[in-house]
């Protein structure tokens, strides 16, 4: 039994929800197994909530809203500071939970998943401490107020990172929340609820209910006492949440799918551009909505690009996620493993040029949701592997003849979440970035910036997360005319 499971069982919290500051027994009785993606064995099960559980959580959040929204910003910031400190203090337990529930290599969980998640809390705290909730515009006061009770629906691919990206700014804004994490990766969410409790966040400000999207997610989105719903997930899930929310005319923020381009300009440093491009596409085993899985390169350099891409892939170690040497673990669940295998076969059927990887598990791995890091070259933009979000370690290399064609290929997608541009001519790099239809564009692999707003164009969603804009998503704007007369 893994240590996070043992910890939660010993604390009596594995089969509990956190509602109104208490660990309560759910009314729902259905259960679902939490499956280790590295062994395909069940490590535990959790209880799924029902309509009563969802309603109780919303009512607790509604009851707490008046007090929390009136709490001075410096007090809210102090509570977020305690949450941040406890997350760092318990970082190893969080990392073990992530490796157990979704297969992140333990080294990557320690280096990325947990510390970056904690950064969202720190940024929310820092932004809150200096945020002007009221500004003067002539004689009018423009005031930002918390929107109310927020339902937060988070995915399985970056479990704790996506939780803190929503909870941090929502609490900073003065909202109360009901969190519904993915039922496939619940352990880190339960550990986070413990942190919230131990940090002294008032009862009802944060509530946690487990359940499926079809059941609990829909109930929360349609609940008349929920003022806003924020979802990170597939475009299909985002559409269903928006439809459920529509009759109550609540705000819906959606961070959804992506098929991000990585445009390598003719003057780019190819060894750097390709090695880091492959690494970016395959980070988290390709299970990132903004992963740059379309590598758009000059046709004249295609042979060199292929050799560099194969070399970069051969440096990856796919295996036991609890082994320190492993760079890439299994896919997070059985359904995703099946999806990736189907799309690899689709690439072969479309006669894209397979240069590394392919269907099946890596050599020596007969069990677990392990996939082979796979790269197709000479891909055409109309192919399924160039259009559909695969959400796995599958990279498509698309050649172009001119920069104008490269930009057209980059924009030939229903998505618009992330993008990359590589080149040594900064003016050209910036000019290309300006023409890409995407919520974020990364130039020459910059450092991650937790203050950079994140969100999508087109079918990648609505609204923004991270930074000031992420906090403002959870606010209403009120104009008070004559305030400064």
pLDDT tens digits, one per residue of 303-333? 999 999 999 999 999 999 999 999 999 999 9
How many angstroms separate the CA atoms of 257 and 269, rounded?
A: 29
How many angstroms separate the CA atoms of 452 and 270, rounded?
A: 27
Retrieve residue 262's tokens. Answer: 């990585």
Q: How far is CA 310 from the centre of its chain?
A: 28
pLDDT tens digits, one per residue of 327-356? 999 999 999 999 999 999 999 999 999 999
Judge if 230 and 112 occupy the same domain: yes
pLDDT at 1 over 70: no
Helix, coil or strand: residue 247 = helix
Burial call 113-149: b when 16+ CB within 10 Å, e when fewer? bbbbbbbbbbbbbbbbeebeeeeeeeeebbbbebbbb
Judge if 216 and 357 occupy the same domain: no
Residue 187 counted as domain residue: yes
Query: If you average pLDDT over residues 264-291, what whole number do you get?
Result: 98
What is the predicted pLDDT for the residue at 175?
A: 99
- CA dihedral for 442, 163, 92, 370, sign (positive or negative): negative
374 strand-pairing partners: 394
| DSSP E strand boundaries for 256-373 | 261-264, 294-298, 353-356
pLDDT at 414 over 70: yes
pLDDT at 37 over 90: yes
Judge if 74 and 7 occupy the same domain: yes
Judge if 376 and 338 occupy the same domain: yes
Residue 350 counted as domain residue: yes
Retrieve residue 169's tokens. Answer: 């700014």
What is the predicted pLDDT for the residue at 75?
A: 98
Of the CA atoms within 13 Å of residue 230, those in its CB half-sphere come to 31
CB proximity list for 246: less than 8 A, separation 6 or greater: none
Query: If you average pLDDT over residues 449-475, what whole number do you get?
Result: 97
Judge if 127 and 267 occupy the same domain: no
pLDDT at 390 over 70: yes
Tell me, what DSSP letter sits at residue 174? T
How many angstroms separate the CA atoms of 285 and 294, rounded?
A: 15
Residue 424 counted as domain residue: yes
pLDDT at 134 over 70: yes
Judge if 183 and 314 occupy the same domain: no
229 strand-pairing partners: 151, 252
CB proximity list for 425: less than 8 A, separation 6 or greater: 265, 267
CA distances, 43 to each of 14, 49, 59, 86, 102 (Å)? 12, 20, 32, 25, 12
Count: domains in the chain: 2
Residues of the chain with pLDDT > 90, as a percent, come to 99
Judge if 74 and 178 occupy the same domain: yes
Taking only Cα atoms into account, the Rg of the chain, rounded to an integer number of angstroms, comes to: 23
Tell me, what DSSP letter sits at residue 284? G
What is the predicted pLDDT for the residue at 433?
A: 98
What is the predicted pLDDT for the residue at 33?
A: 97
Judge if 168 and 239 occupy the same domain: yes
Tell me, what DSSP letter sits at residue 228? E
| Closest CA relative to residue 58, chosen from 224, 183, 197, 218 | 224
| Closest CA relative to residue 106, chosen from 115, 114, 116, 96 | 96
pLDDT tens digits, one per residue of 210-241? 999 999 999 999 999 999 999 999 999 999 99
Retrieve residue 434's tokens. Answer: 């300006």
Residue 125 counted as domain residue: yes
> 251 and 226 in contact (C-beta within 8 Å)?
no
Judge if 401 and 380 occupy the same domain: yes
Burial class (CB in 10 A: 0-12, 13-18, 19+), 358: middle
Judge if 364 and 324 occupy the same domain: yes
Query: CB count, 10 Å around CB of 316?
Result: 18
The catalytic residue among 194, 255, 306, 473 is 255
Residue 455 counted as domain residue: no
> To the nearest whole number, what is the mean pLDDT of the chain?
97
Domain of residue 341, CATH code: 3.40.309.10
CB proximity list for 408: less than 8 A, separation 6 or greater: none
pLDDT at 2 over 80: no
pLDDT at 416 over 70: yes
Known catalytic residue: 289?
A: yes
Query: CB count, 10 Å around CB of 481?
Result: 11
Residue 485 counted as domain residue: no
> 28 and 49 in contact (C-beta within 8 Å)?
yes
pLDDT tens digits, one per residue of 417-434? 999 999 999 999 999 999
- CA dihedral for 152, 337, 421, 398, sign (positive or negative): negative
Residue 327 counted as domain residue: yes
Helix, coil or strand: residue 261 = strand
> 337 and 369 in contact (C-beta within 8 Å)?
yes
Judge if 200 and 176 occupy the same domain: yes
Residue-range definition of the domain harbouring residue 186 = 3-256+460-480
Domain of residue 186, CATH code: 3.40.605.10
What is the predicted pLDDT for the residue at 48?
A: 98
What is the predicted pLDDT for the residue at 447?
A: 97
Specify the pTM.
Answer: 0.97
Judge if 231 and 266 occupy the same domain: no
Residue 23 counted as domain residue: yes
The catalytic residue among 119, 183, 289, 472 is 289
């Amino acid at each position: 039994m893994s240590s996070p499971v043992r910890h939660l069982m010993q604390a009596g919290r594995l089969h509990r929800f956190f509602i109104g500051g208490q660990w309560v027994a759910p009314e729902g009785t259905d259960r679902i197994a939490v499956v280790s993606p590295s062994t395909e064995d069940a490590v535990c099960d959790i209880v799924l909530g029902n309509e009563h559980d969802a309603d109780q959580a919303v009512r607790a959040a509604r009851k707490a809203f008046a007090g929390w929204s009136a709490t001075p910003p410096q007090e809210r910031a102090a509570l977020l500071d305690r949450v941040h400190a406890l997350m760092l203090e318990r970082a190893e337990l969080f990392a073990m939970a992530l490796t157990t529930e979704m297969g992140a290599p333990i080294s990557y969980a320690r280096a990325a998943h947990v510390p970056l998640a904690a950064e969202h809390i720190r940024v929310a705290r820092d932004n809150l401490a200096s945020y002007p909730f009221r500004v003067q515009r002539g004689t009018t006061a423009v005031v930002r107020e918390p929107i109310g009770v927020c339902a937060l629906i988070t995915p399985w691919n970056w479990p704790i990172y996506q939780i803190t990206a929503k909870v941090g700014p929502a609490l900073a804004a003065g909202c109360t929340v009901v969190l519904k994490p993915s039922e496939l990766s619940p352990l880190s969410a339960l550990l986070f609820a413990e942190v919230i409790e131990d940090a002294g966040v008032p009862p009802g400000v944060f509530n946690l209910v487990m359940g499926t999207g079809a059941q609990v997610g829909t109930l929360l989105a349609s609940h008349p006492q929920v003022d806003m719903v924020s979802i990170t997930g597939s475009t299909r899930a985002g559409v269903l949440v928006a439809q459920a929310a529509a009759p109550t005319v609540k705000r819906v923020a959606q961070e959804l799918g992506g098929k991000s381009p990585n445009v390598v300009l003719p003057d780019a440093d190819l060894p750097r551009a390709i090695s880091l491009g492959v690494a970016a596409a395959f980070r988290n085993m390709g299970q990132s909505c903004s992963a740059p899985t379309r590598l758009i390169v000059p046709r004249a350099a295609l042979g060199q690009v292929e050799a560099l891409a194969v070399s970069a892939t051969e440096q990856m170690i796919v295996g036991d996620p609890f082994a320190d040497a492993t760079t890439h673990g299994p896919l997070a669940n059985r359904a995703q493993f099946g999806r990736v295998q189907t799309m690899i076969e689709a690439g072969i059927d479309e006669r894209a040029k397979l240069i590394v990887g392919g269907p099946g598990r890596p050599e020596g791995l007969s069990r677990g949701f392990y996939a082979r890091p796979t790269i197709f070259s000479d891909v055409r933009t109309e192919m399924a592997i160039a259009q559909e979000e695969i959400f796995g370690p599958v990279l498509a290399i698309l050649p172009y003849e001119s920069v104008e064609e490269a930009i057209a290929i980059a924009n030939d997608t229903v998505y618009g979440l992330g993008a990359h541009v590589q080149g040594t001519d900064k003016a050209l790099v910036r000019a290309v970035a300006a023409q890409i239809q995407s919520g974020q564009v990364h130039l020459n692999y910059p450092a991650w910036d937790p203050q950079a707003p994140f969100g999508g164009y087109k079918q990648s969603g609505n609204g923004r997360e991270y930074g000031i804009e992420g906090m403002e998503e959870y606010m209403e704007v009120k104009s008070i005319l004559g305030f400064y007369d």
